[in-house]
Amino acid sequence: MRLTKLGHACVRLESDGGRVVIDPGAFSGEDALAGANAVLITHEHFDHVVPDQLRAALTADPGLEVWTNASLAGQFAGFGGRVHAVGHGDTFTAAGFDVHVYGSEHALLHQDIPKVANTGFLLDGDVFHPGDALTVPEDPVRTLLLPGNAPWLKLSEMIDYGRAVAPSQAYVIHDGLLNETGLTVLGNWLELAAGDSGAAFTRIEPGTSVDV
């Protein structure tokens, strides 16, 4: 499986000719959906989905399908059965990938800000994208896409989350709000997030691909 970081929280996964894009938000580039066979969206915030861009992609490619939570799926009702509502515990196949769904709520931003639905996706029992939540799947995760920075995330929470999931490897996502100084500081803490496991926790630049 090839993983490409497209910016902030967006990644593309490719295997056996299938292409899945997860969370093509406003910081991901206008071409994030190019060539996608399937799109997975964890939640409705602008840094994870741009509705007009997704509608344009669905219109341009009649074979494109989307999986997300029921709240967001309702915004694309005009595309019928091509937009699928899923929730915790569901399983499905998208562009040849076996996908398992975990979690139901976005992490708390503030008590005065209502929580929205958030859906984490585990692909082929390997790569887990948690969206904006600290969901620990009931099943083992080999490759964690680790949120690195967010208004809802403290450093201690990032470290504890990495240790709780205990993957074999992790790649940092959700880092689009950091400048070069902040990215350097973040990198200094990744070894702590790996704990005593010896797993490699790393950050890759947008546009970079790795085989996982």
**pLDDT by residue (tens digit) across 81-91?**
999 999 999 99
Q: What are phi and psi of 157, to 5 degrees?
A: -70, -40
Exposed (0-12), middle (13-18) or buried (19+): which is 9, by Cβ within 10 Å? buried
Q: What dotted CATH number matches 2-98+119-206?
A: 3.60.15.10
**Sequence spans of domains, the chain:** 2-98+119-206
Banded pLDDT at 66 (limits 50, 70, 90): very high
Q: Quick check: 10 pLDDT over 90?
A: yes
Percent of the chain with pLDDT over 70: 100
Q: How confident is the model at residue 99 (pLDDT cuts 50, 70, 90)?
A: very high
> Does residue 36 contact residue 21 with C-beta atoms inside 8 Å?
yes
Band of the pLDDT at 210, cuts 50, 70, 90? very high
Q: To 5 degrees, how large is the angle CA 119–CA 80–CA 52?
A: 65
Q: pLDDT per residue over 41-50, tens digit each?
A: 999 999 999 9
- The pLDDT value given to residue 54: 97
- As a whole number of Å, the end-to-end CA separation of the chain is 6
**pTM, entire model:** 0.97
- Is the pLDDT score of 30 beyond 90? no
Q: What pLDDT, on a 0 to 100 scale, did the predictor assign at position 29?
A: 86
Q: Residue 128 has what pLDDT?
A: 98
68 pLDDT more than 90: yes
Alpha-carbon span 37 to 60, nearest angstrom: 12
| pLDDT computed for residue 169 by the predictor | 98
Tens digits of residue pLDDT in 147-197: 999 999 999 999 999 999 999 999 999 999 999 999 999 999 999 999 998
14 within 8 A of 211, measured Cβ to Cβ: no
What is the pLDDT of the chain when averaged over all its residues? 97
Three-state helix/strand/coil letters over the chain: CEEEEEECCEEEEEECCEEEEECCCCCCCCCCCCCCCEEECCCCCCCCCCHHHHHHHHHHCCCCEEEECHHHHHHHHHHHHHEEECCCCCEEEECCEEEEEECCECCCCCCCCCCCECCEEEECCCEEECCCCCCCCCCCCCEEEEECCCCCCCHHHHHHHHHHHCCCEEEEECCCCCCHHHHHHHHHHHHHHHCCCCCEEECCCCCCEEEC
